[in-house]
Amino acid sequence: MRTRDQILGLSIVAGLLFPLAASAKLANPANSEVTFTAAGPAGMKIVGTENELKVSDNGPSVVVTAPLQTLKTGISLRDEHVRKALETNQFPTSELEVQHSALKAPKAGETITADATGSLKLHGVTKPTPFHYTATRDGNKIKVTATSHINTNDFGIKIPSYLGITVKPDVDIAVKFEITDG
């Protein structure tokens, strides 16, 4: 239940962060991590992670892809529930597409903090998704962090219940990665 929402959020954030590297050569990022956080009743908090992001450039935009079948929450049974809720057999990935023109790339020694919007495809549904990001250039490396918030109901994901416990549909997503320019 919760894991499903968290996984969705992670994929979204990952997609948001990669577009920041629009001026850099696009390749699979180093030190990548997507984290999703979902909440439930009585202060329950579920955190999931994924470290296998891919990025590509299709011309006018950057596409960040996150696999959903390998998200981990620390509990294998919960991971299975998440995969079932996300229907990962039918929708194995989440993609965020961001126009190059929507992103700002940092110059040497510069840090940029900004907001942008990309098209998030999750569970077969594509929606505009805003995100906040910070990009720092150190030599030929650009380090990016980004955050976003989604509601899984917006993507047609049915929130499951387990033993009468249901996760909230709101999921916070955080992404970080490094890319090399040139």
User: What would the pLDDT profile of 70-86 be if each residue is shown by its tens digit?
Assistant: 999 999 988 998 888 88
If one compares 156 and 3, the residue with the highest pLDDT of the two is: 156
Range 55-61 average pLDDT: 83
Rounded distance between C-alpha atoms, residue 94 and residue 12, angstroms: 7
Q: What is the pLDDT of residue 110?
A: 95
Q: Which CATH number fits domain 2-180: 2.102.10.10, 2.40.128.110, 3.60.20.10, 1.25.50.10?
A: 2.40.128.110
Where helices occur in 35-179 by DSSP H, the ranges are 76-86
Q: Which two tokens stand for residue 101?
A: 């023109």
Q: What is the pLDDT of residue 27?
A: 56
Amino acid at 179: I
pTM: 0.81
User: What would the pLDDT profile of 108-148 be if each residue is shown by its tens digit?
Assistant: 999 999 999 999 999 999 999 999 999 999 988 889 899 99
Rounded distance between C-alpha atoms, residue 65 and residue 147, angstroms: 16
Beta bridge partners of 136: 111, 143
pLDDT band at 26 (very low <50, low <70, confident <90, very high): low
Least confident piece of the model among 1-5, 29-33, 96-100: 1-5
Indicate the domain borders of the chain.
2-180
